[in-house]
Amino acid sequence: MREGEIMQISGGKFVITGGASLIGSHVADRLLAEGAGEVVLLDNFSLGTPETVAHLDGEPRVRLVKGDILRINELYDAFKGAVGVFAIAGFLTLPLSQNPPLGLAVNVEGQVNVFEACRYAGVGKVIFSSSIAAYGEPEGDGVIDEMSPANLASYQPGSMLYSCTKLIGEALCKLYSQKHGVDAVALRYSTVYGERQHYRGVNALYIIQNYDRIMRGEAPSLPGDGSEVHDYIHVADVARANVMAMASDVTAEVFNVVSGVETTVKRIAEILLEIAGSDLQPVYADEVGAVKATSSASLKLSREKIRAAIGWEPEVSVEAGVRRLTDWLRSKS
C-alpha cells in the first residue's frame, strides 16, 4: 500500500491464517459484515476445528482452505489476489510449552513464511496477532503502554518462549514494512475470551472451567486468594480492532488491544455464580504445575495509543461478555 492510503474492506479479498480459531472466526464475521468480497480461512486444523466456523457454511464469500504456514507454497496459493492478511495462526503458551519444537517453528518460521508470501504475492497489509505477554511480568503498579520494556526474567520457561516469539513477530512487522513495503501492524491482546472459546488459553481457562464446575454443582476453584487480576477483552472487540487496523493508514506500529480494566479472578467467579443463580462459594487452591502467564495483583494496561491512532475502544464489558459466553456454552449443551 502507498503511504497514507486507507484500505477498502468492502469488495476486497482477505486471508486469515488460523481462520478456524476463536479470533479468526470472529475476524471473518467482522469482515463479512463490512462487505468483504472474499474471505479465505486458512487452517491446518491441528488446534482449530471446522466446527468453529460451521456458522459460515453456505456463505458464498467464505472459502475454508486446509493449509499450513510452515508450508510456504500453500501460502503463495492462498494469498494470490489478497489485499490483506490477518496473521492469527500460532501456538499459545500452553501448547507451545507442551511441544516446543513445533510451537517455535510455527510462531517464528511460520510468521517469516507469512511475510515472505505476502511480499511475493503483493499483499498490501498484514495484521499480526501479538500478546501482552510481550511485556512479561508487570513491575510495580504503574500503567503499561507500548513503550514499556519487556520484563521476562521471572516468567516460567514456556511463557518466556511464547513472549519471545511474539516480540519476533512484531519485529517482522516493522522490518517488512520498512524494507519491503508490506504494511504491518501488531496487536497485543490481553486475555481474549468469548463465544467459540476453546480450552487452551491459559488465563481465559478460569472462565470456562469454572462455568463447567458450577454447572456440575461444584464450587468454582480459584488460585491463591482470588486477587490475581487480568485484563479480559471480548473477542468481538478484538475482531473489530483487527479490521479497523487493516482499514487504517497506520503501519509499523504495535498497539495494545485491551479493556484497560483490572478484573480479579474472584470477580469472574462472582459473575458466573450470578449468571447461574448459584449460592456456591469459591474454593481457593493452586494447581500444582499449572502453566501461568501473568499472575499479578495489578495490571494497568493503557489503550490510549490505539484510540488516538485508529479510534478503537472496547464496547463489551466483562459482565456482558461473560454472559454472552455462558449463553453460547448453554446453547451447545
How far apart CA 29 and CA 243 sit, in angstroms, is 10
pTM given for the model: 0.95
How far apart CA 1 and CA 271 sit, in angstroms, is 45
- Decide: 186 and 173 in contact? Cβ < 8 Å: yes
Could you tell me the domains of the chain?
A: 13-193+232-258+303-315 (3.40.50.720)
Which positions ≥6 away from 163 have C-beta within 8 Å?
A: 131, 133, 134, 136, 150, 152, 155
Which pLDDT tens digits describe the chain residue by residue (333 residues)? 555 567 999 999 999 999 999 999 999 999 999 999 999 999 999 888 899 999 999 999 999 999 999 999 999 999 999 999 999 999 988 889 999 999 999 999 999 999 999 999 999 999 999 999 999 988 878 999 999 999 999 999 999 999 999 999 999 999 999 999 999 999 999 999 999 987 766 567 789 999 999 999 999 999 889 999 999 999 999 999 999 999 999 999 999 999 999 999 999 999 999 999 999 999 998 765 554 444 567 899 999 999 999 999 999 999 999 999 999 999 987
Strands 263-264, 229-230: pairing is antiparallel
pLDDT reported for residue 291: 46
Residue with cell 504494511: 183
Please give the DSSP secondary-structure letter assigned to residue 52: G
